[in-house]
A = this chain, B = another copy of it.
Amino acid sequence: MSAHKGNETVVFSTPVSILETASAVGTKEGEGPLGKLFDRVLEDNMAGEKSWEAAESALVRDNLSALFKKSGVSPDFIFAGDLQNQCCGTTYGVKDLNIPLFGIFGACSTFGEALALGAMTVDSGAARYAAAAASSHFYSAERQFRFPAELGNQRPPTATYTVTGAGAAMLGKGDGPYITSFTAGKITDYGINDANNMGAAMAPAAAACIKAHLEDTGRSAGYYDVIATGDLGRVGTELLLQLLEKDGINIEKNHTDCGMEIFDNKSQDTHAGGSGCACSAAVFSALFYRKLKNSSIKRMLLVPTGALMSTVSVQQGENILGTAFAVSVENEVIKWTI
Protein backbone atom coordinates (compact mmCIF):
# COMPACT_ATOMS: atom_id res chain seq x y z
CA MET A 1 0.00 0.00 0.00
CA SER A 2 1.09 3.54 -0.64
CA ALA A 3 -0.18 6.92 0.43
CA HIS A 4 0.12 10.50 -0.64
CA LYS A 5 2.06 12.39 1.99
CA GLY A 6 2.29 16.14 2.22
CA ASN A 7 2.12 17.95 -1.08
CA GLU A 8 4.08 16.04 -3.71
CA THR A 9 5.26 12.83 -2.06
CA VAL A 10 4.21 9.19 -2.15
CA VAL A 11 5.30 6.78 0.60
CA PHE A 12 5.26 2.99 0.34
CA SER A 13 4.22 1.14 3.47
CA THR A 14 4.91 -2.21 1.82
CA PRO A 15 8.44 -2.22 0.50
CA VAL A 16 9.22 -2.26 -3.21
CA SER A 17 12.56 -3.91 -3.76
CA ILE A 18 15.16 -3.05 -6.36
CA LEU A 19 15.98 -6.65 -7.17
CA GLU A 20 18.76 -5.96 -9.62
CA THR A 21 20.24 -3.32 -11.91
CA ALA A 22 22.11 -3.35 -15.21
CA SER A 23 24.26 -0.72 -16.90
CA ALA A 24 26.02 -0.25 -20.21
CA VAL A 25 28.02 2.75 -21.39
CA GLY A 26 30.06 4.10 -24.27
CA THR A 27 33.82 4.27 -24.68
CA LYS A 28 34.41 7.62 -22.96
CA GLU A 29 32.34 6.61 -19.93
CA GLY A 30 34.29 3.37 -19.80
CA GLU A 31 37.52 5.36 -19.57
CA GLY A 32 36.12 7.44 -16.70
CA PRO A 33 36.48 6.90 -12.94
CA LEU A 34 33.51 4.48 -12.81
CA GLY A 35 34.60 2.52 -15.87
CA LYS A 36 35.11 -0.78 -14.09
CA LEU A 37 31.73 -0.69 -12.36
CA PHE A 38 29.55 -0.81 -15.47
CA ASP A 39 28.31 -4.21 -16.60
CA ARG A 40 29.28 -3.44 -20.17
CA VAL A 41 31.48 -0.90 -21.93
CA LEU A 42 31.04 -0.55 -25.70
CA GLU A 43 34.18 -0.98 -27.77
CA ASP A 44 32.62 1.24 -30.42
CA ASN A 45 29.87 3.80 -29.79
CA MET A 46 28.06 2.64 -32.94
CA ALA A 47 27.40 -0.69 -31.19
CA GLY A 48 27.55 -2.42 -34.55
CA GLU A 49 24.58 -0.42 -35.89
CA LYS A 50 24.24 1.89 -38.89
CA SER A 51 23.32 5.07 -37.02
CA TRP A 52 23.83 6.66 -33.60
CA GLU A 53 20.08 6.42 -33.06
CA ALA A 54 20.03 2.70 -33.78
CA ALA A 55 23.09 2.30 -31.56
CA GLU A 56 21.13 3.81 -28.67
CA SER A 57 18.24 1.41 -29.31
CA ALA A 58 20.68 -1.50 -29.31
CA LEU A 59 22.01 -0.31 -25.95
CA VAL A 60 18.46 -0.16 -24.57
CA ARG A 61 17.59 -3.64 -25.84
CA ASP A 62 20.81 -5.31 -24.73
CA ASN A 63 20.87 -3.64 -21.33
CA LEU A 64 17.27 -4.66 -20.59
CA SER A 65 18.02 -8.19 -21.76
CA ALA A 66 21.02 -8.22 -19.41
CA LEU A 67 18.76 -7.02 -16.57
CA PHE A 68 16.28 -9.83 -17.20
CA LYS A 69 19.12 -12.35 -17.18
CA LYS A 70 20.80 -10.95 -14.05
CA SER A 71 17.54 -10.79 -12.10
CA GLY A 72 16.22 -14.07 -13.44
CA VAL A 73 12.78 -12.56 -14.07
CA SER A 74 10.90 -10.93 -16.91
CA PRO A 75 8.84 -7.83 -16.04
CA ASP A 76 5.12 -7.39 -16.68
CA PHE A 77 5.73 -3.82 -17.83
CA ILE A 78 8.65 -1.62 -18.85
CA PHE A 79 8.76 2.08 -17.89
CA ALA A 80 11.36 3.80 -20.01
CA GLY A 81 12.27 6.85 -22.04
CA ASP A 82 15.06 8.82 -23.64
CA LEU A 83 15.92 12.13 -25.31
CA GLN A 84 15.36 11.30 -28.97
CA ASN A 85 12.38 12.90 -30.68
CA GLN A 86 9.29 10.76 -29.99
CA CYS A 87 11.39 8.58 -27.63
CA CYS A 88 12.62 6.46 -30.55
CA GLY A 89 15.71 5.29 -28.66
CA THR A 90 13.36 3.45 -26.33
CA THR A 91 10.57 2.33 -28.66
CA TYR A 92 12.91 0.74 -31.21
CA GLY A 93 14.97 -0.65 -28.34
CA VAL A 94 12.15 -2.53 -26.63
CA LYS A 95 10.14 -3.56 -29.70
CA ASP A 96 11.59 -7.07 -29.86
CA LEU A 97 11.36 -7.74 -26.12
CA ASN A 98 7.64 -8.58 -26.35
CA ILE A 99 6.75 -6.73 -23.12
CA PRO A 100 4.28 -3.81 -22.88
CA LEU A 101 5.98 -0.41 -22.72
CA PHE A 102 4.82 2.64 -20.81
CA GLY A 103 6.82 5.27 -22.68
CA ILE A 104 7.71 8.23 -20.50
CA PHE A 105 9.36 11.58 -21.02
CA GLY A 106 10.96 13.56 -18.23
CA ALA A 107 14.06 14.62 -20.19
CA CYS A 108 17.08 13.68 -18.05
CA SER A 109 14.83 13.07 -15.03
CA THR A 110 13.34 10.07 -16.86
CA PHE A 111 15.02 7.43 -14.69
CA GLY A 112 13.52 8.99 -11.56
CA GLU A 113 10.09 9.05 -13.17
CA ALA A 114 10.51 5.42 -14.26
CA LEU A 115 11.48 4.29 -10.75
CA ALA A 116 8.50 6.16 -9.27
CA LEU A 117 5.97 4.71 -11.72
CA GLY A 118 7.47 1.23 -11.55
CA ALA A 119 7.37 1.26 -7.75
CA MET A 120 3.71 2.38 -7.70
CA THR A 121 2.82 -0.35 -10.16
CA VAL A 122 4.50 -3.11 -8.16
CA ASP A 123 3.15 -1.73 -4.88
CA SER A 124 -0.44 -1.68 -6.15
CA GLY A 125 -0.27 -5.29 -7.31
CA ALA A 126 -0.70 -4.27 -10.95
CA ALA A 127 2.65 -5.84 -11.81
CA ARG A 128 4.67 -8.57 -10.18
CA TYR A 129 7.85 -7.18 -11.69
CA ALA A 130 8.44 -3.87 -13.45
CA ALA A 131 11.55 -2.62 -15.23
CA ALA A 132 12.57 1.05 -15.00
CA ALA A 133 15.03 2.24 -17.61
CA ALA A 134 16.52 5.27 -19.35
CA SER A 135 19.11 5.88 -22.03
CA SER A 136 20.96 8.54 -23.98
CA HIS A 137 23.67 8.72 -26.62
CA PHE A 138 26.14 11.58 -26.99
CA TYR A 139 26.07 11.64 -30.78
CA SER A 140 22.31 11.28 -31.25
CA ALA A 141 21.73 14.02 -28.67
CA GLU A 142 24.39 16.40 -30.01
CA ARG A 143 23.08 16.43 -33.53
CA GLN A 144 19.48 16.65 -32.42
CA PHE A 145 19.85 19.43 -29.85
CA ARG A 146 23.03 21.28 -30.80
CA PHE A 147 25.35 20.52 -33.73
CA PRO A 148 26.51 17.33 -35.45
CA ALA A 149 29.68 16.29 -33.64
CA GLU A 150 31.49 16.12 -37.00
CA LEU A 151 31.39 19.93 -37.16
CA GLY A 152 33.74 20.10 -34.19
CA ASN A 153 31.97 23.12 -32.67
CA GLN A 154 33.57 24.51 -29.55
CA ARG A 155 31.55 23.91 -26.40
CA PRO A 156 31.30 26.55 -23.68
CA PRO A 157 32.50 25.71 -20.14
CA THR A 158 28.89 25.59 -18.87
CA ALA A 159 28.02 22.81 -21.34
CA THR A 160 27.62 19.27 -20.11
CA TYR A 161 28.56 16.13 -22.01
CA THR A 162 25.69 13.75 -22.80
CA VAL A 163 26.38 10.28 -21.46
CA THR A 164 26.26 7.41 -23.93
CA GLY A 165 24.68 4.58 -22.04
CA ALA A 166 21.70 2.88 -20.50
CA GLY A 167 20.68 2.05 -16.96
CA ALA A 168 17.87 -0.16 -15.78
CA ALA A 169 16.43 -1.53 -12.54
CA MET A 170 14.14 -4.49 -11.88
CA LEU A 171 11.50 -3.75 -9.25
CA GLY A 172 9.52 -6.37 -7.36
CA LYS A 173 9.06 -7.92 -3.93
CA GLY A 174 12.19 -9.12 -2.21
CA ASP A 175 15.21 -8.00 -0.24
CA GLY A 176 16.52 -4.45 0.02
CA PRO A 177 17.43 -1.94 -1.05
CA TYR A 178 13.88 -0.64 -1.18
CA ILE A 179 12.23 2.35 -2.80
CA THR A 180 10.57 3.78 0.29
CA SER A 181 9.14 7.02 -1.11
CA PHE A 182 9.37 9.48 -3.96
CA THR A 183 8.64 13.13 -4.54
CA ALA A 184 7.47 14.25 -7.97
CA GLY A 185 8.75 17.76 -8.55
CA LYS A 186 6.85 20.62 -10.09
CA ILE A 187 8.05 22.31 -13.25
CA THR A 188 10.17 25.40 -12.62
CA ASP A 189 10.86 28.32 -14.94
CA TYR A 190 13.83 30.47 -13.97
CA GLY A 191 14.10 32.34 -17.24
CA ILE A 192 17.08 30.36 -18.56
CA ASN A 193 17.23 30.10 -22.36
CA ASP A 194 20.80 28.98 -23.01
CA ALA A 195 20.78 25.38 -24.29
CA ASN A 196 24.44 25.19 -23.30
CA ASN A 197 23.65 25.85 -19.66
CA MET A 198 21.16 23.17 -18.67
CA GLY A 199 22.55 22.96 -15.15
CA ALA A 200 21.24 26.44 -14.37
CA ALA A 201 17.80 25.54 -15.76
CA MET A 202 17.57 22.37 -13.67
CA ALA A 203 19.09 23.49 -10.36
CA PRO A 204 15.95 25.37 -9.19
CA ALA A 205 13.84 22.28 -9.93
CA ALA A 206 16.24 20.07 -7.97
CA ALA A 207 16.26 22.52 -5.06
CA ALA A 208 12.46 22.75 -4.98
CA CYS A 209 12.06 18.97 -5.22
CA ILE A 210 14.58 18.23 -2.45
CA LYS A 211 12.96 20.87 -0.22
CA ALA A 212 9.47 19.46 -0.88
CA HIS A 213 10.72 15.94 -0.17
CA LEU A 214 12.23 16.91 3.18
CA GLU A 215 9.11 18.86 4.17
CA ASP A 216 6.69 16.14 3.08
CA THR A 217 8.60 13.36 4.83
CA GLY A 218 9.62 15.36 7.90
CA ARG A 219 13.23 14.37 7.32
CA SER A 220 16.34 16.52 7.64
CA ALA A 221 18.92 16.69 4.85
CA GLY A 222 21.36 14.83 7.11
CA TYR A 223 19.07 11.79 7.16
CA TYR A 224 20.55 10.63 3.87
CA ASP A 225 24.07 9.27 3.49
CA VAL A 226 24.00 10.52 -0.08
CA ILE A 227 21.83 12.99 -1.98
CA ALA A 228 22.73 12.50 -5.65
CA THR A 229 21.33 14.83 -8.29
CA GLY A 230 21.22 13.56 -11.85
CA ASP A 231 23.14 15.84 -14.15
CA LEU A 232 23.45 19.36 -12.79
CA GLY A 233 27.19 19.38 -13.36
CA ARG A 234 29.50 21.86 -11.68
CA VAL A 235 27.57 24.99 -12.61
CA GLY A 236 24.19 23.64 -11.60
CA THR A 237 25.53 22.11 -8.40
CA GLU A 238 26.90 25.43 -7.19
CA LEU A 239 23.51 27.02 -7.84
CA LEU A 240 21.67 24.15 -6.10
CA LEU A 241 23.73 24.51 -2.92
CA GLN A 242 23.14 28.28 -2.90
CA LEU A 243 19.38 27.93 -3.43
CA LEU A 244 19.00 25.36 -0.64
CA GLU A 245 21.24 27.37 1.68
CA LYS A 246 18.77 30.25 1.34
CA ASP A 247 16.10 27.94 2.73
CA GLY A 248 18.35 26.83 5.57
CA ILE A 249 19.08 23.44 4.02
CA ASN A 250 22.72 22.42 3.86
CA ILE A 251 23.62 19.39 1.75
CA GLU A 252 27.27 20.21 1.09
CA LYS A 253 28.55 17.19 2.99
CA ASN A 254 26.29 14.52 1.53
CA HIS A 255 25.59 15.88 -1.96
CA THR A 256 27.09 14.60 -5.16
CA ASP A 257 26.02 14.79 -8.78
CA CYS A 258 25.98 11.77 -11.08
CA GLY A 259 27.30 14.03 -13.84
CA MET A 260 30.36 14.83 -11.74
CA GLU A 261 30.94 11.19 -10.80
CA ILE A 262 30.97 9.68 -14.28
CA PHE A 263 33.74 11.72 -15.89
CA ASP A 264 37.12 12.99 -14.73
CA ASN A 265 36.76 16.59 -15.77
CA LYS A 266 40.49 17.28 -15.71
CA SER A 267 41.58 14.47 -17.97
CA GLN A 268 38.39 13.93 -19.99
CA ASP A 269 37.57 17.50 -21.11
CA THR A 270 33.88 17.14 -20.31
CA HIS A 271 33.40 20.73 -19.11
CA ALA A 272 30.59 21.01 -16.53
CA GLY A 273 30.11 17.23 -16.27
CA GLY A 274 28.01 14.43 -17.67
CA SER A 275 24.31 14.72 -18.54
CA GLY A 276 21.54 12.90 -20.35
CA CYS A 277 18.96 10.34 -19.25
CA ALA A 278 21.65 7.68 -18.97
CA CYS A 279 23.73 9.74 -16.54
CA SER A 280 21.71 9.10 -13.38
CA ALA A 281 20.41 5.76 -14.69
CA ALA A 282 23.84 4.25 -15.34
CA VAL A 283 25.56 5.83 -12.30
CA PHE A 284 22.82 4.64 -9.94
CA SER A 285 22.79 1.17 -11.48
CA ALA A 286 26.57 0.77 -11.39
CA LEU A 287 27.74 2.81 -8.39
CA PHE A 288 25.02 3.58 -5.83
CA TYR A 289 23.10 0.32 -6.11
CA ARG A 290 26.35 -1.49 -5.40
CA LYS A 291 27.06 0.76 -2.40
CA LEU A 292 23.57 0.13 -1.03
CA LYS A 293 23.94 -3.61 -1.56
CA ASN A 294 27.23 -3.78 0.34
CA SER A 295 25.92 -1.33 2.97
CA SER A 296 28.67 1.23 2.46
CA ILE A 297 25.69 3.58 2.25
CA LYS A 298 22.30 2.83 3.79
CA ARG A 299 20.01 5.67 2.76
CA MET A 300 20.16 7.70 -0.39
CA LEU A 301 18.03 10.23 -2.20
CA LEU A 302 18.43 9.94 -5.96
CA VAL A 303 17.26 13.13 -7.68
CA PRO A 304 17.35 12.81 -11.48
CA THR A 305 16.93 16.25 -13.01
CA GLY A 306 15.47 17.23 -16.36
CA ALA A 307 15.66 20.24 -18.69
CA LEU A 308 12.41 20.49 -20.60
CA MET A 309 12.86 22.03 -24.05
CA SER A 310 13.18 21.22 -27.75
CA THR A 311 15.10 22.88 -30.56
CA VAL A 312 11.79 24.43 -31.65
CA SER A 313 10.99 25.81 -28.20
CA VAL A 314 14.47 27.34 -27.94
CA GLN A 315 14.24 28.82 -31.45
CA GLN A 316 10.87 30.30 -30.54
CA GLY A 317 12.44 32.02 -27.55
CA GLU A 318 10.79 29.93 -24.85
CA ASN A 319 12.65 29.45 -21.59
CA ILE A 320 14.16 26.09 -20.70
CA LEU A 321 12.06 24.56 -17.92
CA GLY A 322 13.33 22.35 -15.12
CA THR A 323 11.91 19.27 -13.43
CA ALA A 324 13.12 16.63 -10.96
CA PHE A 325 12.03 13.43 -9.25
CA ALA A 326 13.45 12.55 -5.83
CA VAL A 327 13.47 8.82 -5.07
CA SER A 328 14.54 7.59 -1.64
CA VAL A 329 16.26 4.22 -1.68
CA GLU A 330 17.02 2.64 1.68
CA ASN A 331 18.27 -0.64 3.03
CA GLU A 332 15.63 -0.78 5.77
CA VAL A 333 11.87 -1.05 5.48
CA ILE A 334 10.38 2.24 6.68
CA LYS A 335 7.19 2.28 8.77
CA TRP A 336 5.58 5.51 7.66
CA THR A 337 3.02 7.30 9.78
CA ILE A 338 0.48 8.41 7.24
Contact = CB atoms under 8 A, between A and B. Distances in A.
B113 A120 contact: no
A3 B88 contact: no
A119 to B, nearest CB: 9
A99 B184 CA distance: 9
Contact of A103 (B92, B100, B105, B123): B105
Interface in A1-55: 1-4, 8, 10, 50-51, 53-54
Given A126-B2, A126-B3, A128-B4, A102 B85 contact: no
A86 B314 CA distance: 12
Interface in A107-153: 107, 113, 116-117, 120-121, 123-128, 144
A87 B105 CA distance: 7
B126 A76 contact: no
B316 A51 contact: yes
B102 A117 contact: yes
Contacts of A50: 316
A316 B54 contact: yes
Chain copies in complex: 2
A187 interface: yes
A244 interface: no
A269 interface: no
A113 B191 CA distance: 31
B323 A101 contact: yes
A258 to B, nearest CB: 20
What is the predominant secondary structure among interface residues of chain A facing chain B? mixed
A255 interface: no
B126 A10 contact: yes
B86 A124 contact: no
A91 B121 contact: no
B95 A184 contact: no
Contact of A85 (B3, B85, B91, B103): B85
B86 A309 contact: yes
Contacts of A186: 98-101
Contact of A105 (B86, B123, B321): B86
B313 A53 contact: yes
Contacts of A85: 85-86, 310-312
Given A3-B126, A92-B313, A81 B102 contact: no
13 contacts: A1-B124, A2-B124, A2-B125, A3-B126, A54-B316, A81-B105, A84-B310, A84-B312, A86-B309, A86-B313, A91-B308, A91-B321, A123-B124
Interface of A: 1-4, 8, 10, 50-51, 53-54, 76-77, 81, 83-88, 91-92, 94-95, 98-107, 113, 116-117, 120-121, 123-128, 144, 184-187, 189, 308-313, 316, 318, 321, 323
The 7 closest A-B pairs by CB, nearest first: A124-B124, A100-B184, A86-B310, A85-B310, A91-B308, A103-B105, A10-B126
